[in-house]
A = this chain, B = another copy of it.
Amino acid sequence: MMNIHKFIMPEIIFGNGAIDQVGNSCLRLGASNVLIVSDQGISEAGWLEAVMKSCEKAGLKYETFIDITVNPKDIEVDKGRDLYLQKECDAVIGIGGGSAIDAAKAIALLATNGGNIHDYEGVDKITHPLPPQVMIPTTAGSGSEVSQFSIILNTEQKKKMTIISKSLIPDIAIIDPETLVTKSAHLTASTGIDVLTHGIESYISLAATPLTDVYARNSIALVANNLRPSVASKLNKEAKTNMAMASLQAGIAFSNAILGAVHAMSHAVGGRYPILHGDVNSILLPHVMEFNLIANPPKFADIAYQLGVKACDMSHMEAGKTAIEFVKQLIHDVGAPTKLSEIDVKKEEIPQMSISALNDACMITNPRDVTVETIEELFRKAW
């Protein structure tokens, strides 16, 4: 707390029906011709149309680009950039899960900074301002709508590149819980465990501050109370609204406090396999929590408290262990995967994945030191 720390987030518009404000939001940012970046599923669910209508109402021209796939790829970003430049767009809307939003940000980045997306891997490589960006998450998971992160797959090297820069923080994030009702139970569970991972990793991160801690803690409590009901019913709007709020708060926390070993390792897996990011996190989270426990017993005890564990008579270490058991039970109850073997990850890839994880930007803030060997050991435990 004594060091100088920085904290930044976009303007937030949150609530049922908020999606209708996207056109006016772009107008307010000076846009006239917007590139809307999304994916096939969002288009089929009707949310793309809602965005187009709002843009029309605001008198904006727009182009759509819906070729983004799960774990968005450098080649998709290139295509989007080409369309943006060819159509002379001047702003970007991203609507969808973390993949669509991360891709939208990467397109905005290339549009004004030029070069190849590979050039920007790492921290603070962006030199020119980005065009106005308005992001609309539809999964209550990635937090990308408020974060300074974009994760893009390097298709040649089969690895996820973590790009971190304040310039990637959108201007306006529009969170409309109504968009969550079209999600499957599996996707709800997977993205919900991703939110929990964001909350926990940012809370115990070496870069955590009092400004991020309040959101990290509250997001953990919101997930503990609302993820099961949200998975149980597509129509439980209260649970969906609370999960959207949890995702937002965890996103604000991790954008400023960064993450840890779960995400570093998860990026290494996601670079090689077309697997949902949240599913990998769900497998890795309990193992990494066990490993990280000794790095911050008081915060782990508070995680137990936020999860609703009656832990007031326990030592910090005991409470922390109870928190890990709670997380395992939650993962079990929502039907998320628990073993890498379940999702067909090959054991012989462990050494390569461990090296990738060690070099991932998210590993820097993990609260316990790691080596390639400790990462390999964690991957093996997660088999």
Contact = CB atoms under 8 A, between A and B. Distances in A.
A86 interface: no
Contact of A18 (B4, B215, B245): B4
Contacts of A218: 210, 214
Contacts of A12: 6-8, 211
A351 interface: no
Contacts of A245: 1, 210-211
Nearest to A21: B4
A13 B9 contact: no
Interface string A1-28: 1111111110111111110010000000
A4 B25 CA distance: 14
A179 interface: no
Copies of this subunit? 2
A241 interface: yes
Contacts of A8: 11-12
A38 interface: no
A249 interface: yes
Contacts of A215: 214
A209 interface: yes
A211 B17 CA distance: 18
B249 A211 contact: yes
B15 A2 contact: yes
A371 B53 CA distance: 44
Contacts of A3: 15
Contacts of A18: 4
Nearest to A16: B2
Interface in A215-266: 215, 217-218, 241, 245, 248-249
B15 A4 contact: yes
Of A5, A209, A210, A241, the most chain B CB neighbours within 10 A belong to: A210
Contacts of A248: 211
B2 A214 contact: no
Contacts of A214: 214-215, 217-218, 249
Nearest to A248: B211
Interface in A145-168: none
A141 to B, nearest CB: 18
Interface string A70-108: 000000000000000000000000000000000000000
A199 to B, nearest CB: 12
Of A6, A245, A248, the most chain B CB neighbours within 10 A belong to: A6
Closest 9 CB pairs of A and B: A4-B15, A7-B12, A8-B11, A214-B214, A214-B218, A4-B18, A210-B245, A6-B13, A5-B14
Given A7-B14, A214-B249, 10 more contacts: A2-B15, A2-B16, A2-B241, A4-B13, A5-B15, A6-B13, A7-B12, A14-B211, A210-B245, A214-B215
